[in-house]
Amino acid sequence: MRESPDIARIAALVADPARCSMLLALMDGRALTATELAGLAGITKQTASSHLAKLVDSEVLRMEAQGRHRYFQLGGPHVAALLEALMVFSSDSVPPLRTGPKDFALRRARVCYDHLAGEMGVALHDRMRGGGWLSDDLTVTGKGWAHLAAIGLTPAELPRSNRPLCRSCLDWSQRRHHLAGLVGKMILDHILALSWARRLPASRVIAFTPDGERRFLDWLR
């Protein structure tokens, strides 16, 4: 029972609507300033300041001061994972939500923190697990590296960080896992660098070009 206050404390940080809005606005991995976040959440800057201080204090957010601005971003992939885990409930309880073209695009491919999510993200994950590119303990196999090399990715391209190489992240729209971790980030970065897809501004949508989508799916074949 002694451990419950800790996890309850974290949950309480997400439980406030204002803080929740801010966290969701940061889901794409960008860094926003305090006043921007206040505006998005519909609260004054005093209130936002109080909220942000709590979030930074618990390492749910990271803060970086630049001049007279303070930029806030998610504390790490585990924060995004938590938010996605919560979204599973919403997508479950209200299934017939308005499904416009933008909603469709989001389900198709989007960024989750810094890696690929949605149908395309799940397809990638499934192929890597099913095709033996990843072992059971989520390390990239020799076969996996061979396939990655086919599109120009080598271990040298990995960002330097102590984050785990691969993680499974639950996808709220697909309700299945997609690939997170450094390898997930590396692959998404590469997809963008190859111009197979581009990020739509002010949204989490990853828009594949027809040709890029064909090449991506071919690569998974």
Partner DNA sequence: GCAATGGTTCGATTAAGATCGAACCATGAG
Partner DNA sequence: CTCATGGTTCGATCTTAATCGAACCATTGC
Residues that bind a second copy (CB under 8 A): 1-12, 14-17, 19-21, 24-25, 40-42, 58-60, 78, 81-90, 92-94, 170, 175
Q: Which is nearer to a second copy, 7 or 65 (CB)?
A: 7
Q: Which does 51 bind (CB under 5 to 8 A by kind): DNA, a second copy, none?
A: DNA
* 99 touches DNA by CB under 7 A: no
Q: Could you tell me the strand order of the sheet in which 69-74 lies?
A: 32-33, 69-74, 61-66
Burial class of residue 26, CB neighbours in 10 A (0-12, 13-18, 19+)? buried
Q: Which does 26 bind (CB under 5 to 8 A by kind): DNA, a second copy, none?
A: none
Of residues 66-85, those binding DNA (CB under 7 A): 67-70
Burial class of residue 205, CB neighbours in 10 A (0-12, 13-18, 19+)? buried
Q: Which does 45 bind (CB under 5 to 8 A by kind): a second copy, DNA, none?
A: DNA
Cβ neighbours, 10 Å, residue 34: 19
Residue pair 129/136 in contact by the 8 Å Cβ criterion: no
CA–CA gap between residue 21 and residue 6 (Å, rounded): 22
Burial 96-134 (b: 16+ CB within 10 A, else e): eeeeeeeeebbbbbbbbbbbbbbbbbbbbbbbbbeeebb
Residue 178: strand pairing partners: 169
Q: Which is nearer to DNA, 74 or 148 (CB)?
A: 74
Q: How far is the CB of 214 from a second copy (least distance, A)?
A: 29
Tokens 């206050």, residue?
5
* 111 touches DNA by CB under 7 A: no
Among 10, 24, 25, 35, binds DNA (CB under 7 A): 35
Tokens 């930074």, residue?
56
Among 25, 49, 108, 143, binds DNA (CB under 7 A): 49
Q: How far is the CB of 48 from DNA (least distance, A)?
A: 7
Q: Which is nearer to DNA, 36 or 157 (CB)?
A: 36
Q: Which is nearer to a second copy, 50 or 154 (CB)?
A: 50
* 101 touches DNA by CB under 7 A: no
Q: Which does 221 bind (CB under 5 to 8 A by kind): DNA, a second copy, none?
A: none
List residues binding DNA (CB under 7 A). Answer: 12, 16-18, 33-36, 43-54, 67-70
